[in-house]
Amino acid sequence: MDAFFVSAAILLIVGLKLMGRAATARKGNVLSGIGMLLAVATTLWAFPPKNIWILVSIVTFGSLIGIWTASYVKMTAMPELVALFNGFGGLASLLVGVVEGLKLMHTSDDSVGTGVVFTQVAIVSAVIIGGITFTGSLVAYGKLSRKLPSGSIVFPFQPYVCFALLCFLYWSSCGWIVSQSIFGFDPFYAMIAFSLIAGILFTLHIGGGDMPVVIALLNSLSGVAACAAGLISLNKVLIVAGCLVGTSGLILTLIMCKAMNRSIGKVLLGGFEASETKAQSKSSGKPKTMMAEDAYFPLEAARTVAIVPGYGLAVAQAQHAVKELVQKLTENGAEVFYAIHPVAGRMPGHMNVLLAEADVDYDQLTELEAANARFQETDVAIVIGANDVVNPAAVENKNSPLYGMPILEVFKAKTVLVLKRGQGKGFSGLENELFLKDNVRMIYGDAKKTLTQLAAQFKGE
Amino acid sequence: METVSIDYGWLAFCMVLAGWLGFELIGKIPSQLHTPLMSGTNAISGITLVGALAALSYTTDAITEVLCYVAIFFAIINVVGGYCVTDRMLKMFKK
């Protein structure tokens, strides 16, 4: 049996390895799926279920729901789907912890050894981390799908309430491990409740702009929860896969934090909103606007064009319109590249998926450093619904909270066209000094409409 | 529950090794692949399904049995949905 579990773990690892390269990624995913199947089959063989028919119907029903959602979800809705699935995984780990805990409470009257304490600690970890992952992911899902307000939700005495909750959580879990009864009351159920509330409280105040970091972190936590569930029954494949997901999620979180110039602590405490008011930009002046019709001339003359897509492009669902404009530009003899910031979109790498859906050539997608090296020779850079990731304050203004954040240096291009819905600010709530520069023209309005308009002018020829 | 002797050293070794592997495998991948990778690892985290299946086989009362079924239900959505949606994304990248 162990041999099968080890093979399953190896398949998962090799699959993950292959997923690190675009050419082999799909094969890697299939391989990891086979590993999962092997792990499940081995478990069914080793622990035959009492009632196979109930199990089969549940598995079929769940699989159909999974396949159906996966096939029909829009690519723009990918972040909330990942958050939701992640929450389900957390819930499953929580329930495994609860089941094992209840079982332990019914049977352990005499045997109190280190083994039992170890199992109890594992149960507590699975319940708490699973619970936090579950409700935290649900809140993230709500914010991303706009069923909840996407901004930071703050209530009075929040830090104190969170701290008190942590104390309760600690107290109830320790209480359960030591005595299984506090004031004649079983702290196990209190622990479940506290962990569910904790998940909500910890994510509620995190603003929409920090969501990429939060999803990555919750993803990591769901792995840790699975690992904890594995420690309860000492299941090797669970432990290995859980650790793997835990650290890979953690490293993605750190990459995201670095790309946004934020520390994990700051994201979790939601400190951004508080500091923004202090750093008002001192430069005055008005951004220069331009009508879409007038943009034809610089675009027509341009030899090199950079497309800088951001969150706004995803919101306006303009990825197909962009592709169309790029086609016209290419036919016109211009060389076009997409400059993609690591946090463009609403989850890590989201923009690449959106552009891939619109059939954009993979080779045209340029990463941060490569793009920055090309802006100097770029005739026109078109910024579509991106704001903070192109804010020059990150390199020029030492007082800006953005200072130090790696940005796309579009201001180096000869002309910059900024497509923007309105005069609002970015997620950080900061003025963007880019819009005031001499070589920048603003085109206000719906990005999709503007892009279609621009492309239509080329058709006129 | 009978007391099982647990080899803590071996366990710690396994966890450190798996954790280190996670760091190594993900550390250097291009940012283009971050979303499919997240949804892929998300599907892997549904491996807790295995824990739920194992727990189901030795349940003694109705409550724990139902809880196991609920866990299996949600875990299977996570696993199947996660793998399918990852495949759908990667299929687009391939072209």
pLDDT in tens, A110-126: 555 567 888 899 999 99
Q: What average pLDDT does this structure show over A159-165?
A: 85
Of B8, B21, B59, the CB nearest to A244: B21
Q: What average pLDDT does this structure show over A152-157?
A: 77
Work out the minimum CA distance from B10 to partner chain A, whole angstroms.
11
Q: What superfamily in CATH does domain A292-459 come from?
A: TPP-binding domain (3.40.50.1220)
pTM: 0.87
DSSP state of A148: S
Amino acid at A43: T
Chain pair A-B, CB pairs under 8 angstroms: 372
Of A29, A241, A353, the CB nearest to B87: A29
A184-204: burial string, b at 16+ Cβ within 10 Å, e else: eeebbebbbebbbbbbbbbbb
Find chain B residues with C-beta within 8 A of A125's C-beta: none
Per-residue pLDDT, A281: 46
Lowest mean pLDDT among A277-281, A394-398, B32-36: A277-281
Q: What average pLDDT does this structure show over A38-64?
A: 93
Inter-chain CB proximity B67 and A98 less than 8 Å: yes
Inter-chain CB proximity B53 and A47 less than 8 Å: yes
Find chain B residues with C-beta within 8 A of A58's C-beta: 69, 72-73, 76
Find chain B residues with C-beta within 8 A of A357's C-beta: 92
- Confirm if B15 and A243 have CB atoms less than 8 A apart: yes
Inter-chain CB proximity B89 and A356 less than 8 Å: yes
Per-residue pLDDT, B39: 93
pLDDT exceeds cutoff 90 at A288: no
Task: Express as a percent the part of chain A with pLDDT over 70.
Answer: 91
Work out the minimum CA distance from A384 to partner chain B, whole angstroms.
18
Better-predicted residue by pLDDT, A220 or A154: A220
**Is the ipTM value over 0.85, yes or no?**
yes
Q: How far apart are CA A221 and CA A252, in angstroms?
A: 12
Q: What average pLDDT does this structure show over A341-358?
A: 83
Per-residue pLDDT, A428: 59
Candidates B11, B41, B60: best to mutate against A (most CBs of A within 10 A) is B41
Active-site residue flag, A388? yes
Candidates A40, A119, A238, A248: best to mutate against B (most CBs of B within 10 A) is A248
Question: Residue A163: which H helix or E strand, with range?
Answer: helix A158-178
B6 to chain A: closest CA residue = A115
Q: How far apart are CA A412 and CA A397, in angstroms?
A: 16
Domain boundaries, chain B: 30-94
Q: How far apart are CA A122 and CA A272, in angstroms?
A: 35
pLDDT band at A274 (very low <50, low <70, confident <90, very high): very low
Alpha helices in chain B (DSSP H): 8-27, 34-45, 48-57, 62-76, 82-94
pLDDT band at A284 (very low <50, low <70, confident <90, very high): low
Lowest mean pLDDT among A73-82, A401-410, A414-423, B3-12: B3-12
Lowest mean pLDDT among A301-310, A347-356, B83-92: A347-356
> What mean pLDDT value characterizes chain A?
85
Q: Is B72 exposed, middle or buried (0-12, 13-18, 19+ CB in 10 A)?
A: buried
DSSP states of A24-56: THHHHHHHHHHHHHHHHHHHHHHS--S-HHHHH
pLDDT exceeds cutoff 70 at A106: yes
Q: What average pLDDT does this structure show over A11-21?
A: 91
Work out the minimum CA distance from B49 to partner chain A, whole angstroms.
7
Of A58, A70, A81, the CB nearest to B73: A58
Of A26, A43, A251, the CB nearest to B23: A251
Q: Express each pLDDT in B42-91 by its tens digit.
A: 999 999 999 999 999 888 789 999 999 999 999 999 999 999 999 999 98
pLDDT exceeds cutoff 50 at A429: yes
Per-residue pLDDT, A318: 85
